[in-house]
Structure 1
Amino acid sequence: MARTHAEWKQFAAQLKIEGRAFIAGEYCAAQDGKSFACNNPANGEKLADVAWCGEADVERAVRAARQAFDSGAWSGLPPRERGRILKRFAALIHEHGDELALLETLDVGKPISDTLSVDLPGSAYCVEWFAEAIDKIGGEVAPVDPKVVGLVTREAIGVVAAIVPWNYPIMMASWKFGPALAAGNPVIIKPSEKSPLTAIRLAALAKEAGIPSGVFQVLPGAGDVGKLLALHMDVDCVAFTGSTGVGKLIAGYAAQSNLKRVWLELGGKSPNIILPDCPDIAQAARAAAGGIFYNMGEVCTAGSRVLVHRDIKARFLQELEAAAARYYPQDPLDPATNMGAIVDRIQYDKVLSYIGKGDSEGAKKLFGGKPAHTDTGLFIEPTAFDCPSADLTICREEIFGPVLSVITFNDVEDAIRIANDTEYGLAAAVWTSNVSTAHQVARRLRAGTVWVNCYDEGGDMNFPFGGFKQSGNGRDKSLHALEKYTELKSTLIKL
């Protein structure tokens, strides 16, 4: 039975929050005793003191992971057995769904209705999917000289460090540890210091499910922890989701150390193209609003640039403002809320500074642009600008907040040029009634995901997720994700 607003507040008041690291199968404080405060962005209250891990903690965790890997305690299990344990892990995520959803909402300001309906079920689904897949894929017998048997197999890559972001903490973590664990690797999760609580709680559930000591560990802390992991000579792979700037640093640390495999899912400035033959302008406007205001715009695939044809612009803007009206920030613990708080003061100030740049560079503010509920927490209204040029700062830089840039174009060639004129290439969308136009435009858009007549659809794990250009490399989700956490081996046997 669904909880009411009052019941969620009561649940939150009674919740016991774990803030320690999880190393070698046990919760523990940072060895030097260092910690940081984890605060609720919706009201400023402290939720917990969280361990700030240091070099000694990293060394201990990597040593435990290496021992677990070398012993075969996890990688040596039959795939079917690993799958059974991972399915139990997914079941425990489901069983503790309310608690995990509440932790996520308190930690990052997401509406509880979203964490319950999207983040938690999506995370459990990811673990289930890879648990089901791992014993259904195999290697190859190479077509070689008949006097030789040639085998091509995949083996676990080794110790995996998963450095995950704060916008979808539990879901992005599952996109890393799901396939990495399924492939037989021990995983060290480094959650963002802005959102450590669900990763810490998951560690106990992983142990309860039967995942061996050293195979699932959590090291909270700031960027120094991620740097130590990326530089560590005994970490074999780093999977990172976050900003392009930090991704470049991590790639550099890998190059400085042992050339560990590095997989990067980075930023985006995704274009949403509304052609004049758009089949439903009102629906396109609703999707455009959801594409930037859902999750407070803190989404790497956010449709932060809407490119609209001149002939339908006036009607589209009218529909957009009506669609945006249903997004207004309120208490995230209220099940009726569909827009919560900005994750922390740093991000809040950053978003407001970009709104200021939009004003100063001559963009016309269509609606929003102001803080909301400043007496309680970090809330910003849905904001949209009509931009006279695609070269404005708000049209080119990733804001990661509820700020939309509307850009006018004259024809399809103009739209494609503007859409691709960015360092990013994570996602894009096109709205048209012509199936040939849809295919032609989709082929020419330089993006890892292209939606046609929708935006941000496809939670299915069968679709690989990742980007072109400076949006990163490698893919999360789908069987392709398993490739990231394995090494290919050729074995030739002379008969």
Structure 2
Amino acid sequence: MFEYAPAPESRDVVDIKPSYGLFIDGEFADGTGTPFKTVNPATEEVLAEVATASQADVDRAVRAARKAFGAWSALPGSERAKYLFRIARIIQERSRELAVLETLDNGKPIRESRDVDLPLVAAHFFYYAGWADKLGYAGYGPAPRPLGVAGQVIPWNFPLLMLAWKIAPALACGNTVVLKPAETTPLTALLFAEICRQAELPPGVVNIVTGAGETGAAVVNHPDVNKVAFTGSTEVGRIIARSVAGSAKKVTLELGGKAANIIFEDAAIDQAVEGIVNGIFFNQGHVCCAGSRLLVQESIAGDLMESLKRRLSMLRLGDPMDKNTDIGAINSAEQLARVRELSDIGEAEGAERWSPACALPERGFWFPPTIFSGVAQSHRIARDEVFGPVLAVLTFRTPAEAVEKANNTAYGLSAGVWTEKGSRILWTADRLRAGVVWANTFNKFDPASPFGGFKESGYGREGGRHGLEAYLDV
């Protein structure tokens, strides 16, 4: 294994303020709730104090969004597109600043923030800017109308990218937005608020309220919110579905997953190993569509596990700001406790646990990349979403058995298929109950491609032409 000299990205490009307020009606304002601190998960250093939005603050934000809706929705689509294009270009111009801030607040490696997240964030705004004046050709009628005020609640695993997934289509369709970022990762959303001002977006079109679960509930349950969009855990998704049941609110939920990554015996093993690593260890496994269940055909299981362990031994865990780092920090102490708990249960239930030798930093929230072999379908690590760098390995003999095991889950967000035969890819994909099926790759995203799941992975689609429907009265 090569030894790499440290290659830290500089923090100087980011000016983190000691405290942040709410962004309402184009201005930053104090919150009336109790402020909270956001920390760097790699060091436990306090980054900033952030305002908490109370019910009254959320009400102010919704009223600002409602007031702005009339003028914003009345603009020609080509005019709304100009703002979205402007936001996309500013994101590109400030991409290094945004990437550094994302890594500091989230714990993901700077390489991922810089090379994956930020290009996709800009691409989503560019893509939906292109749709703004073509909504009549999207297949939802000749003159589809916006819904009104969209209340959006996003998670901590891809803070800025999930913001783009939510805000870009909403604005393109003529809606206004009240967005609540995750409590542990609010800083890039607040920097995005500055970008909205820099782009001279009309006041009230985008409002950002920070806080914990109570703030999110206030957004979701507000009577003047017309559309609810949520990405997060299945447990919270159930609560939201119950709370809006019987109302006229349109809802999309993008929830958990327990994706199967299926490796057939004719797959290119080295390529498949890279796909497995990318599928479960990218972003420390904090990915709802992560390939957390590895299904390997029995005839190649030994060779593949040997190659996979060798590859994991080469991964570098450590400072997320180092450009050589592959595995960063777990996002919070709470999430680390859950990963540890489910991993201990996996071991207690009889699965064999393996991690490469790697030194964990003394401060921060860290967990080594971990593989469990000898896993049964009844084991909790094969059923529950760990949301961490933990892979459960099962084997199969026939394609039919692979599909049966892959579909034996409460979730249905994504899956991967690895084989040299195109006919086998199509046969398998046709039988998998998953919203996204990747073939000989994993975790590939494109703004033009819809994303969403079945069963307990939620309903509705984000991305692509399909992502417009959730924000239109069709």
Task: Provide TM-score, normalisation by structure 2.
Answer: 0.95
1:46 aligns with 2:46: yes
Residue 136 of structure 2 contacts residue 142 of structure 2 at CA under 8 Å; is this kept in 1? no
- Mapped partners of 1:399, 1:366: distance in 2: 16
Q: 2:270 aligns with which of 268, 282, 285?
A: 282
Aligned to 1:105: 103
Q: 1:478 aligns with which of 453, 464, 468?
A: 464
Aligned to 2:404: 417
- Aligned to 2:417, the other structure's residue is in SS state strand
Structure 2, unaligned stretches of length 5 or more?
1-5
Residue by residue over 1:236-262, the C-alpha shift from the partner in whole angstroms, topping out at 9 and shown as x without a partner, is: 001000011101111111126x33111
Q: 1:188 aligns with which of 173, 178, 191?
A: 178
**How far is the alpha carbon of 1:433 from its aligned partner?**
1.9
- Mapped partners of 1:360, 1:452: distance in 2: 34
Q: 2:413 aligns with which of 409, 413, 426?
A: 426
Aligned to 2:72: 74
Aligned to 2:55: 55
Q: Counterpart amino acid of 1:171?
A: L
**How far is the alpha carbon of 1:354 from its aligned partner?**
1.2
Residue 364 of structure 1 contacts residue 386 of structure 1 at CA under 8 Å; is this kept in 2? yes
1:466 aligns with 2:468: no
Q: Counterpart amino acid of 2:35?
A: S
Residue by residue over 1:142-179, the C-alpha shift from the partner in whole angstroms, topping out at 9 and shown as x without a partner, is: 9xxxxxxxx75210110001100100000011001000
- Mapped partners of 1:357, 1:191: distance in 2: 31
Q: 1:175 aligns with which of 133, 152, 165?
A: 165
Aligned to 1:121: 119
Residue 264 of structure 2 contacts residue 419 of structure 2 at CA under 8 Å; is this kept in 1? yes
Residue by residue over 1:87-113, the C-alpha shift from the partner in whole angstroms, topping out at 9 and shown as x without a partner, is: 011111111111111111111101111
Cα RMSD between the aligned structures? 1.8
- Mapped partners of 2:357, 2:364: distance in 1: 16
**How far is the alpha carbon of 1:468 from its aligned partner?**
1.1
Residue by residue over 1:12-41, the C-alpha shift from the partner in whole angstroms, topping out at 9 and shown as x without a partner, is: 6x5436521101110111034x20011110
- Mapped partners of 2:344, 2:233: distance in 1: 22
Q: What pairs up with 1:375-390 in 2 under 5 angstroms?
A: 375-390=362-377
Aligned to 1:156: 146
- Aligned to 2:245, the other structure's residue is in SS state helix
Q: What pairs up with 1:319-398 in 2 under 5 angstroms?
A: 319-368=307-356, 372-373=360-361, 375-398=362-385
- Mapped partners of 1:244, 1:48: distance in 2: 29
**Residue 405 to residue 45, structure 1, CA distance change in 2 (3 Å):** same
Residue 329 of structure 1 contacts residue 380 of structure 1 at CA under 8 Å; is this kept in 2? no
Aligned to 1:493: none
- Mapped partners of 1:93, 1:140: distance in 2: 26
Structure 1, unaligned stretches of length 5 or more?
143-150, 489-495
Aligned to 1:95: 93
**How far is the alpha carbon of 1:232 from its aligned partner?**
1.1
Q: Counterpart amino acid of 1:62?
A: V
**Residue 141 to residue 83, structure 1, CA distance change in 2 (3 Å):** closer
Residue 381 of structure 1 contacts residue 402 of structure 1 at CA under 8 Å; is this kept in 2? yes
Residue 189 of structure 2 contacts residue 208 of structure 2 at CA under 8 Å; is this kept in 1? yes
Paired residues, what number? Answer: 469
Identity of aligned residues (%): 43
**How far is the alpha carbon of 1:228 from its aligned partner?**
1.1
Task: Provide TM-score, normalisation by structure 1.
Answer: 0.91
- Mapped partners of 2:138, 2:251: distance in 1: 25
Residue 18 of structure 1 contacts residue 201 of structure 1 at CA under 8 Å; is this kept in 2? no
